[in-house]
Structure 1
Amino acid sequence: MASDKLHLSKKWNTVFIHLAAWSILFIFPLLFIERFGNINRMHNFSLIKFYIQPICIACIFYINYLWLIDKVLFRKKTIRFILYNLLLVVMANIAIYLVHRMVIPESILHQRPTPIPPPRPGFMQWQDSITLVLVVGLSAAIKVTQKWITTEKERKQLEQERTEAELKKLKNQLNPHFLFNTLNNIYSLIAISPERAQSAVLELSKLLRYVLYENTQPYVPMEKELEFNHNYIELMRLRLARHVQVDVNIPTGLCRGYKIAPLLFITLIENAFKHGTSASTRSFVKINMSEPSPGVIECDIENSSFPKNETDKSGSGIGLKNLSRQLELLYPGKYNLHAESDSHIYRSMLTIDLN
């Protein structure tokens, strides 16, 4: 309904612009009507003389604008388009000539207040022909520009729809991946401490609420995204042994007032806990989020690096590939995703400009 109203509004705007332009064209000659010896006798003839050309211009313009350009030129029938317009120009010239020579009496036509010599034979017809050809070019230019704007708008809309569909697909891939890893963590926690497993289920319900509802929105307040990350980290703490050191620095108020696409940082945080902790070996996870400049959020994560067996490798790259593609679609040219590792430490850093 709203789109129909918008379309109707644009249509009326176009009509208004056309009416305004042609009103100016038809009023303009009144300012320059020739003043001959007998003004009263010449007034009606001058109006006819001066308006025959604008009338021919308007006819040729709208014949092209409403019919010839769409039905002939845009269908690659260029020669036919040129022939039609040559015929129109010739007919318009004949009409102008007949009005000048037959409607306006010859005796009045030669009454001039000053001895200005008449134009050479054929000069006025040549001048009118050039004007009419320019009108054809103008109508074609306007129509081609309108078509280009419409085509470009449709292309951008199609591209946006394709991007939204791909983002939805990526999110649908991420949600089961996230849930699978979290349930695995709770499963392992049940064997260690049933009490902590109960707390983990409560924390998981908060996370799932965010994933299921907020994740459907294109952007969420930064405060909610940071809270989600904090809740996930607290859930992961429940299953970790004492020899695993977790240092977290996520200041409140980072990028306050800004919005961000949901679940962008969780992939890096999730990978740090999944691949950077050990049940038997001393390990660590360091998570630091900061705002190096207004509207720029940075997530810097370091964790222990352990060799992966074949079971751990299966599906481990889905999250990072997914994240990289989402960033390309959502923040092209406004993000930096970097990861490096050595034999003991893995580091990942994501910076996003939200401005």
Structure 2
Amino acid sequence: MKRNRITLYIDLLFCLVIIPLAIMLLPVDRWITNNTAFLITLVAYVYILYFVYRLSCIPKLFMQKKYIRIFILLFILASITELLTYFPMPAEHITDDIRQMTTKMNIRKQTIWFFFLIVTGFSLAIELTFELFRQIISKQEIEAEKNKAELSLYKAQINPHFLFNTLNTLYALVLSGSEKTESAFVKFSDILRYMYSQNESELIPAEDELNYIRQYVDLQKLRLNHHTNVFLSINASSGKILIPPMILITFVENAFKYGTSSDTDCKIDIKIDINKEKLILETENAVMKKPENKQPGIGISNCRKRLDLLYPERYKLENGENNGIYRVKLEIDINN
């Protein structure tokens, strides 16, 4: 719709401003008197030529490699233009002054070809510009669809990864016969309900994601003994801020995966701060377990890819181990 409006404005500019101004450069008064039919024919031809170019869209034909069609079109238009230069002048208006002027300068022929070149150049420039915009918009749409598909894939990979680890927690509670098992399954069902209710959502209120993280942390606490202390601090000045679902849980999950112990004192510290400008997540945990391989986990890898797609050049992610302590700091500019 917007492009059609721009096209209309350009057509009006050409037809109502540029062409009338160009015609005013001609000896209109003399031509109206001496050869009215020629002047009317010339003006009509200029407008017809312009819309022929606009409808044929030569740059698009060129992109499609339809060179023969372009050649035929230009040949026909050039031939018609040349024929127009032989437009007869009424004998009664041919004076010695006019005959002398025609002999020396051949104004009429130059004028016809001048208008032909002006219309051709303007039309091709406009169509070339529109074709470039079409190519850019098409690439952007393709890239947007690709990014959307990738986001869906990454979210689909995150969910099974999370479920696998959570089921291990429930399994451990069942084996131990813990009285916390029933409460754990209630929390787990709430988590599942949240995960699949937000599965198709690109953005959700921050308060929903924060409640989800609280439930997850509570679920993890049920399986931990006194050796692991968990501290969760959430400061959300605006819970209505929209954020991507399941974007924070991977870092929280990894803190529990590698930072807990059943026989050694350890601590997990999670801080989340959300305001209208930024989202900041910080986690800190002692490294109690090492991954079996040294390759980055699928969860963090997918989070990085999602962040690249959702917040290009608008986030900072620092994570790493130092002196046996693993720290993560994620900062997202959510104001843009």
Q: Please tell me the TM-score bracket, short chain as reference.
A: 0.7 to 0.9
Answer yes or no: is the 8 Å Cα contact 1:53–1:96 preserved in 2: no
Alignment of 1:99-138 (within 5 A): 101-102=89-90, 105-106=92-93, 118=101, 120-138=104-122
Residue type of the partner of 1:187?
Y
1:65 aligns with 2:49: no
TM-score (normalised: structure 2)? 0.84
Q: Secondary structure at the match of 1:346?
A: strand
Q: Secondary structure at the match of 1:191?
A: helix
CA distance in 1, matches of 2:92, 2:74: 31
301-310 or 344-353, larger mean C-alpha shift:
301-310
CA distance in 2, matches of 1:75, 1:177: 47
Shift of 1:85: 2.9
Residue type of the partner of 1:300?
E
CA distance in 1, matches of 2:4, 2:114: 31
Over aligned residues, Cα RMSD in angstroms? 3.4
Alignment size in residue pairs: 332
Alignment of 1:254-269 (within 5 A): 255-269=238-252
Alignment of 1:112-261 (within 5 A): 118=101, 120-192=104-176, 194-253=178-237, 255-261=238-244
1:289 aligns with 2:272: yes
CA distance in 2, matches of 1:335, 1:150: 31
Q: Secondary structure at the match of 1:247?
A: strand
Shift of 1:299: 0.5
Alignment of 1:45-56 (within 5 A): 48-56=37-45
Answer yes or no: is the 8 Å Cα contact 1:327–1:335 preserved in 2: yes
- Residues 309 and 77 of structure 1, relative CA distance in 2, 3 Å threshold: closer
Residue of structure 2 in register with 1:317 after alignment: 297
- CA deviations on 1:84-117 (whole Å, 9 max, x unpaired) are 5365235324325415x24x84158979xxxxx9
166-175 or 47-56, larger mean C-alpha shift:
47-56
Residue of structure 2 in register with 1:3 after alignment: none
Residue type of the partner of 2:125?
A
CA distance in 1, matches of 2:321, 2:57: 66
Residue of structure 2 in register with 1:353 after alignment: 333
CA distance in 1, matches of 2:157, 2:175: 29
Residue of structure 1 in register with 2:313 after alignment: 333
- Residues 183 and 132 of structure 1, relative CA distance in 2, 3 Å threshold: same
Residue of structure 1 in register with 2:83 after alignment: 94
CA distance in 2, matches of 1:81, 1:162: 35
Shift of 1:24: 5.2
Alignment of 1:13-28 (within 5 A): 14=7, 18=11, 21-22=14-15
CA distance in 2, matches of 1:80, 1:216: 47
Q: Secondary structure at the match of 1:277?
A: coil
Residue of structure 2 in register with 1:299 after alignment: 281
CA distance in 2, matches of 1:252, 1:301: 16
Answer yes or no: is the 8 Å Cα contact 2:229–2:267 preserved in 1: yes
Shift of 1:31: 12
Percent of aligned pairs with the same amino acid: 28
CA distance in 2, matches of 1:341, 1:22: 69
CA distance in 2, matches of 1:352, 1:285: 22
Match of 1:274 among 231, 250, 257: 257
* Structure 2 gaps, min length 5: none
CA distance in 2, matches of 1:263, 1:331: 15
Answer yes or no: is the 8 Å Cα contact 2:57–2:127 preserved in 1: no
CA distance in 1, matches of 2:57, 2:210: 60
Shift of 1:354: 0.7
Answer yes or no: is the 8 Å Cα contact 1:33–1:46 preserved in 2: no
- CA deviations on 1:176-206 (whole Å, 9 max, x unpaired) are 1111111111111223453311111111111
Q: Secondary structure at the match of 2:263?
A: coil
Answer yes or no: is the 8 Å Cα contact 2:270–2:284 preserved in 1: yes
TM-score (normalised: structure 1)? 0.80
CA distance in 2, matches of 1:145, 1:251: 50
Shift of 1:118: 4.5
Answer yes or no: is the 8 Å Cα contact 1:276–1:284 preserved in 2: yes
CA distance in 2, matches of 1:44, 1:205: 91
- Residues 189 and 75 of structure 1, relative CA distance in 2, 3 Å threshold: closer
* Structure 1 gaps, min length 5: 1-5, 37-41, 112-116
- CA deviations on 1:312-341 (whole Å, 9 max, x unpaired) are x59971111111111111111111111121
Q: Secondary structure at the match of 1:91?
A: helix
